[in-house]
Each structure stands twice: as structure tokens, then as C-alpha cells.
Chain A
Amino acid sequence: MSTATQAMTLKEQLLEKFETELPSLFGEAALRRSAAQQFEATGFPTRKWEDYKYINPDAVLKKGFGTRIAAFRDITAEDVAELSPVKDAYVFVIINGHFVPDLSFSGELPDGLTVESIADAVVSDPAAKAHYAELADSAADPFIAINTALADSGLFMHIAQDSVIERPVHFLHIATNEVSAFLQPRHLVVAETNAQAILIETFESIGPVRSFTNVLAEVVVADNAKLDHYRLQTENEAGHLLSTVQAHVSANALYNTYTFTTGGAFVRNNLNVEIAGEHAEAHLYGLYLPSGNSVVDNHTLVDHQVPNCMSNELYKGVMYDHSQAVFNGKIYVQRDAQKTNAFQNNKNILLSDDASINTKPQLEIYADDVKCSHGTSTGRMDEEALFYLRTRGIGEDNARKLLVNAFAEEVVNAVPHEELRNYIDTLIARRMGTV
């Protein structure tokens, strides 16, 4: 690496990389160029941006992340097996932002399910061509823009009409670069009419080298389809993650999201759900347990565009040490979206005087015949309950863990997949130091 490169900002490096690599990148060059211009105009968000005011990605990115994706530590099939929360999932491995077919499921997928490299699909698959970059708007967020400009790998998952896929599909992300890098995987998930599937995305980082993963997934849930979408974020102290999900839910469809964050130095989730067809339903569950100096920021947007739909959101946080969390939940109910039911709740426990939470529900309702509610609460450990448990012989440490677990269970119990639910329980237990 030349000293000139070292002196460049990440923004400059990314734009330079764009100019060099554009000819070799998949998809439409015009789309990428306009996204790059968008990014060039704004750069990364700073504290002055309303949507980023509590955390400061610009400062995080100044820790130093490059654009060079070097050879990575050897990840073996055993590592992959160990990192799979569900035994019978179809596992697809993304290392340092790049799909690795050699480590991924290589058997025959069931009828109706396609999972392949996004770079190939965008060229050859009509559904991928039709939906790629359809939902994610580069003007909405610089992270979307730079991902759209430069993404060079990722996965396309397609569930054909009327296909019900029982076994989960697992996108296993591992950041383990040899040099500190900014990684940008890009996914597209399309569940066609009447299709059903489960997608589990996990995010791991291995080793001491800093990584920043700017991952973007577009999710299309067509009429009467059902998709359960999990994100398990368990990176180490070197891992930084910004995960954007841009989802579109059509008539009578059901989209369930579950976001669990038990690790990572910095995690920002942008979860945007358009409710675009009547009688569609979306459930958004989240649980975050940051510790040390970690920052976890969940921004959700549920956009009710049509009548007779329902959304329900429950996010809970347990904050340790010097950690910082943000919950920002927007609900839009557009003028036409009469008879909307939209509920939101965010509850937090601060286990340390040095931990902090900023919670901000934002309801913008332009229809008049709706049922909407939101609530937030932030408290400490329930000292009465703690004393009660201790008077029964349960040690203080254990009593605290029981209570934290009880608080978290409300979210964990919303997970319908039993094996995954148990896995999440062990993630939480590990986080609390009980196993």
C-alpha cells in the first residue's frame, strides 16, 4: 500500500476503487455511476445528520478501514458447521463480503428454491434483474449508495410461486480480513406469490483485525407469501456492522423479522418495511445486549401505504458497562392506509450507571381511522424481585441473570423455530456468562 493511499480518506479510496473497478462489476453501470455520484455528494453521515445523531459513523470509520480485501484466514468446513445455529439449514458462506461457493451448500436444493451468486443472477435471472436495486434508494442513505455503487458479491435467494421451503436458508457472514477493511455484501431475496421460507443471516467476525461490514439486503415478499427473516449479530470487538434491510410486503403477505445483537463494537440496523398490499402483516422483533464500549443502534421504519394492514414491533435492550444503544422506530401511516393497526414497544434495562439508551418512537399518521400505539420504558434491575429471589437462596449473580433472562424471553419466545430459539437462548446465556 502506498503512502498516498494511506493518506486518503475512506470516501476517497472507495471512489477511486469505483473508477478502477466499474468495468468489471456486475449489472448496470449507469445505476452504479449515479449511486457513486450520490455518495460523492454527501459522503458518510456525520453527527449532524438527524438519523445518525446519536452515533457517529464518520468517527467510527475514521478508525481506519481500507478497501483492499486480502486473503483471509482459512475457514474450514468444520468452522462453518460450528457457526450454524440450525443443523438442517442450507448454508451459504460469505467471507469478507464475498460469497464462497466451496464452503457453501453444494447438494440439490428443493424444488422452487434458488440460491446463487448475485453477480450471476443479475445477469441471468429475470426475477433478479427485475428486482435488483428496485427497493434500495441511493438517495435515502449514503450506505445504500456506496453499496449500490461498489457491491461485487452477495446472494440471490428466490422462492418460486407456491413453493414452501421447510428447511431454513442460512447466510453465514464471516469478517476475517488480514487488513482492516470496509466490506459490502449485497443480497436480494424474492418470495413469490404463495411462497414460504425462512432466512437466517448470521454475522461473525474472527480475529483481531478491524472490519466494517456494510451489508444490504432487499427483500420482496409477494402476495400471500410468508418470510421469517432472522439476523443474529455476534461479531467480536473488532467487528463493525451496518445492516440495511429494505423490504416490500404485498397483499396478504406476512413478513417476520427477528434481530438479535449480542456482539460487535458497533452495530447499526436500518430496517425499512413497506407495507404495500392490503391485509399484509409485519412483525419486527429485536433484542440487543451490548456490553463494554459497544454501540447498538436500531432504526426501524414501517411504512403503511394501504388500508387494512397490521404491524407489530417489540424491541428490548439490556445494557451493560459503558455500552450505548439507540432505538428509533418510525411508523408512517399514509393517507390511504385506513384501518391500520400499528403497534410498537421498546423496553430497556440499564445494568450500569455508565450505560445509556436513547429511545425515540416517531408516529406519523395521516389516516384517521387507525389503531396505533407506542410505548417505551427504561428502567433498572427490579430490586424487589432481586431481593425476593435471594431470600429463596438464589445467589445474587444468578438472580440477576434469571431476571435479565426473563426480560429477554419475551422476545426470544416470539421465535417460532425451536432449534433456533434454543440457540438464541445459548447466545444470551453466553453473553451473560452463564455458560
Chain B
Amino acid sequence: MISINNLHASVEGKEILRGLNLEVKPGEVHAIMGPNGSGKSTLASVLAGREDYEVTQGTVSFNGKDLLDLSPEDRAREGLFLAFQYPVEIPGVSNINFLKTAINAIREYKGEGPMEAKDFLALVKEKQKLVELDGKLAGRSVNEGFSGGEKKRNEIFQMAMLEPKLAILDETDSGLDIDALRIVANGVNKLRSPERSFIVVTHYQRLLDYIVPDVVHVLWNGRIVKSGPKELALELEEKGYDWIKAEANTVEA
């Protein structure tokens, strides 16, 4: 699905990602954990194509294509989706119009015609149910005046609508109460399939009780410094990150 090799990225001249390697196969769920400021959101942003970040070294291959060579929109059209840590409010653009435009842009890229209005509305209804999103929100401006939880559910709703091949969830769980967490996790689980992969960035082990990962990685200081089975998340929850940092420093030294 995606293969990241020796990725280095800087922002404002400061190197944040410092030789990151990651390989995700179709159908797999990878969790990325790590202390604040370790570069998790930077990785997500670089993969999605944010222009503030400069890739200085390394390669990313996405289903055989050079991901770093594509515009953000073409990455999305190729099947990459990023659920933002901080979803953006866009006053004046209705959720529905936004989604219709997005879906049709992706269809056009694939050489398909625009979706029929009634099929689109049926799809909206179905996917809203998936994340228990209030139908009224669809008519409102994108994320405007949404609560924190509604914004996160709206990200998952969009993901469900766009049916990506690889979804990156950047701390979709933070700020959610336990009910909202369950709804979000449930939405993700329903979308799991042998063809679809997930990279789940999280601070907390509790999300991984609901979305059970195949692999857990620890990102620290711009690198993946440890990988392991899902039990690694529990260990991190118990012991914190200091032992990992110590280990990593020893390796580096």
C-alpha cells in the first residue's frame, strides 16, 4: 500500500522527520504513538502534501506511484485520506456541496461521470448513520460551529464517503468522550477491509482497545524507534516513553 523510505522533512529550516521508515500492506492497521512534538502530525501532513513542509530526503511509494510527486488533490484521488487533528472550519461552504464536489472530482479523475443526485443523497444518509452524525450538520458550513466531537465524526463521515485506500487518522480520538470514541472506532471498523489500510496516530492506548492494530510503532525525534505487536501500546501506557527514549539514545550513540 505505502512504503516510506528514509524520509527527511523540514519546516522553516528545522528538520522534524529524520529518516523515517514505514511499510503498510493492504488491509493492515498500523498505530503510531509517541510523545507530543515527536513528528506524528508532521508525518501525516507530509503524506497529505502540505506545502509548508519540505522533503529533503527519502521516498514514498503509494501503490506503485511516487507520492511526493503528486499534488494534494491527486493524492486524495489516488486514495489517500487524512483525518485532520484540527479539522478546518470553512464558513460559507456547505458540507453537502463540499462532499459532492470532492466525490465528483475524484470520479472525474478516474474517468467516471458525476454521481446521480439521488445516489449521492442515499450515500450521505447511509454514511451519516455510520458515525451517528446529525443530518442537520450536512446542510451547515463545513465544520463551522461544530463541537470538537462533531468535527472528528465529520472527518470519519468524509472518509466513509470518499472510500479511500489508505486513511491516516491524526489523533481522531483526542478530545472525545468514551461514547464518541466508540462511535468513531465503530465507524472505522466498519470500513476495515482487506483492500483498505489505516495509519492511526494516537496518544492513548484506549482507542486501540476498539481499533485493534496489527502493528504499533513509536515515533520519537522524527524516527520510528520501536515497533511491535498491539501489546506494545499497553506497555507504553504503563511505562511511558522514557525507556524507549533511553533505548533509542543508546542505539544512536
Give A residues with C-beta under 8 Å from B: 382, 384-385, 387-396, 398-399, 402-403, 405-407, 409-410
* Residues 41 to 78 of chain B near chain A (Cβ within 8 Å): 48-51, 71-73, 75-77
Shortest Cβ distance from B69 into chain A, in angstroms? 15
Report the bound CA distance from A390 to B98 in whole Å: 11
Inter-subunit contact B90/A387 (CB<8 Å)? no
Inter-subunit contact A409/B102 (CB<8 Å)? no
Residues of A within 8 A of B241 (CB): none
Q: Which of A384, A395, A405, A406 contacts B88 (CB 8 A)?
A: A384
Inter-subunit contact A392/B50 (CB<8 Å)? no
Inter-subunit contact A393/B109 (CB<8 Å)? yes
Question: Which of chain A's residues has its CB closest to B88's CB?
Answer: A388
Residues of A within 8 A of B51 (CB): 387
Other A-B contacts than A385-B89, A393-B77, A393-B162, 17 sampled, CB-CB below 8 A, are: A382-B88, A382-B90, A385-B90, A388-B142, A389-B93, A390-B72, A391-B48, A391-B49, A392-B99, A393-B73, A393-B103, A396-B71, A399-B73, A402-B98, A405-B92, A406-B141, A410-B92
Contact with A along B85-122 (1 / 0, CB 8 A): 00111111100011101110110010000000000000
Shortest Cβ distance from B92 into chain A, in angstroms? 3
Report the bound CA distance from A405 to B98 in whole Å: 12
B210 within 8 A of A: no
Q: Which of B92, B98, B109 contacts A407 (CB 8 A)?
A: B92
Q: Which of B75, B90, B162 contacts A403 (CB 8 A)?
A: B90
Inter-subunit contact B90/A390 (CB<8 Å)? no
Inter-subunit contact B106/A393 (CB<8 Å)? yes
Residues of A within 8 A of B158 (CB): 392
Shortest Cβ distance from B110 into chain A, in angstroms? 10
B29 within 8 A of A: no
Inter-subunit contact B101/A398 (CB<8 Å)? yes
Residues of B within 8 A of A382 (CB): 88, 90
Report the bound CA distance from A391 to B167 in whole Å: 12
Given contacts A385-B90, A402-B101, contact A393 B76 (CB under 8 A): yes
Shortest Cβ distance from B52 into chain A, in angstroms? 9
Inter-subunit contact B76/A406 (CB<8 Å)? no
Report the bound CA distance from A391 to B102 in whole Å: 9
Residues of B within 8 A of A395 (CB): 73, 105
Shortest Cβ distance from B99 into chain A, in angstroms? 8
Inter-subunit contact A387/B93 (CB<8 Å)? no
Q: Which 6 interchain pairs have the tightest Cβ spacing?
A: A406-B92, A393-B76, A392-B102, A390-B72, A388-B88, A393-B106
Residues of B within 8 A of A398 (CB): 101, 105
Inter-subunit contact B90/A394 (CB<8 Å)? no
B2 within 8 A of A: no
Residues of A within 8 A of B204 (CB): none
Inter-subunit contact B92/A393 (CB<8 Å)? no
Report the bound CA distance from A236 to B130 in whole Å: 51
Shortest Cβ distance from B64 into chain A, in angstroms? 19
Residues of A within 8 A of B101 (CB): 394, 398, 402
19 contacts between A and B (CB under 8 A): A387-B50, A388-B84, A388-B142, A390-B76, A392-B76, A392-B99, A392-B162, A393-B73, A393-B77, A393-B103, A393-B109, A393-B162, A394-B73, A396-B71, A398-B101, A402-B98, A403-B93, A405-B92, A406-B91
Inter-subunit contact A393/B105 (CB<8 Å)? yes
Report the bound CA distance from A305 to B53 in whole Å: 57
Inter-subunit contact B93/A402 (CB<8 Å)? yes
Report the bound CA distance from A405 to B72 in whole Å: 21
Inter-subunit contact B105/A409 (CB<8 Å)? no
Report the bound CA distance from A132 to B106 in whole Å: 60
Question: Which of chain B's residues has its CB closest to A410's CB?
Answer: B92
Report the bound CA distance from A388 to B93 in whole Å: 12
Given contacts A395-B105, A398-B101, contact A390 B92 (CB under 8 A): no
Residues of A within 8 A of B160 (CB): none
Report the bound CA distance from A90 to B72 in whole Å: 50
